[in-house]
Copies of this chain bind each other. A is one copy, B any other.
Amino acid sequence: MSKHEKSKVRAYLTTRKVNPENQESPIHFFDKTTYPHSCLFRRNHFPYPDYISASFVITGLVQKPLRFSLEQFQSMPSKRVKAVLECAGDKRNLFVPKVYGEQWEKGAISQGCWSGVPLRDLLQYTGLLKGAKEVVFEAQDYGKRKDIDQTVPYARSLPLQKALHPDTLIAYEYNEKPIPFKNGFPFRLIVPQWYGMASVKWIKQITVIDKQFEGPFQAIDYVYYPNKDEDTGKFPVTLMNVNSTIQQPLNMDILNTGNHMISGIAMTGQGRIAKVEISIDKGKTWSPAKLEHNDEYAWVRWKYLWEVQETGEYIILSRATDTAGRTQPGTAFWNRKGYGYNAMDKIEVKIE
């Protein structure tokens, strides 16, 4: 019997929870620019919706409420953005002290091409009424939370300015195919630069309101609470922090002396990545990594050739800086719910 299909190796999603489904992407084993949908990370607060409507309505403070269908969408001018989506809880398990909740490692992040109609275009059809302040996106998934004794849908809002940004899309395609069911079919809001909680899946209704939205996924979750036992100093999770991840080598790898390619990704919610630096001496000295294509909204792949002759134990750090002047800190900003972890990435390797 010769070598066959059965010896093929693939990387799988890493299962964090099955009910509801929460799975990480195999970030360390992925060197493409866009993920196939089977490798998109899955972050759910509720079971998948039982019933999916093939249209959604825009209502509230609009001149003319309108319903939009997939058929209509396909005849409207569309736009495509390659965007990284990163869960606000990505890397949560790295916080010290530890934080409760899904223990995401480094793979609550994916990237691909989303095509859709800018929300701004749709709001030009409906018109806006005076006093419009926020736009609320209600999803088709719903359920009970541990802290509220009633069934609630997943819902989030955007301030009007971000809602009207020309790259804020109501997407209906992922990598030029209908959005996979688990990732929001048929309509998903895509908010480049914001953490993934903003990119609401399975859109059911869009409502323009004149005040601040106070749903639990906005007023309770996805809020930075700097203190363990009280809510003082809280502020909302919005833009992605500047961040980087070392994909290869793996943490605690044993390698030989010689040349090793250190490679990874870097991303930011403000501007673009300006540079990625690598340290192999615990942060004493830094050398620039080589960046590949550097598109707005997308992650930058980077690599650094490490020539190592001396055996021993090494700590490798990666540190990204964005064009807004933000640099990854040595220690992440600790917050009670564990959002926005972005300390310099760190791995340890042993050279034998």
Question: A147's closest neighbor in chain B, by CB?
Answer: B352
What is the CA–CA distance of A98 and B86 in the complex, to the nearest angstrom? 28
Contact B12 A250 (CB under 8 A): no
Contact A15 B17 (CB under 8 A): no
Interface of A (DSSP majority class): loop
Known contacts A1-B51, A6-B182, A50-B2; A146 and B14 CB within 8 A of each other: no
Contact B348 A98 (CB under 8 A): yes
**Does chain B have a CB within 8 A of A3?**
yes
A305 contact set on B, CB distance < 8 A: none
13 other A-B residue contacts (CB within 8 Å) besides A16-B250, A100-B252, A101-B254? A1-B51, A6-B180, A6-B182, A9-B19, A10-B18, A12-B13, A12-B15, A15-B28, A17-B250, A99-B252, A100-B348, A100-B350, A101-B252
**Does chain B have a CB within 8 A of A41?**
no
Choice from B3, B253, B350 contacting A51 with Cβ under 8 Å: B3
A13 contact set on B, CB distance < 8 A: 12
Interface residues of A (CB under 8 A from B): 1-4, 6-7, 9-21, 23, 26, 28-29, 47-52, 54, 93, 98-101, 103, 146-147, 180-182, 250-256, 348-350, 352
Contact B11 A18 (CB under 8 A): yes
Contact A1 B52 (CB under 8 A): yes
What is the CA–CA distance of A180 and B7 in the complex, to the nearest angstrom? 10
Choice from B4, B54, B251 contacting A1 with Cβ under 8 Å: B54
Contact B103 A251 (CB under 8 A): yes
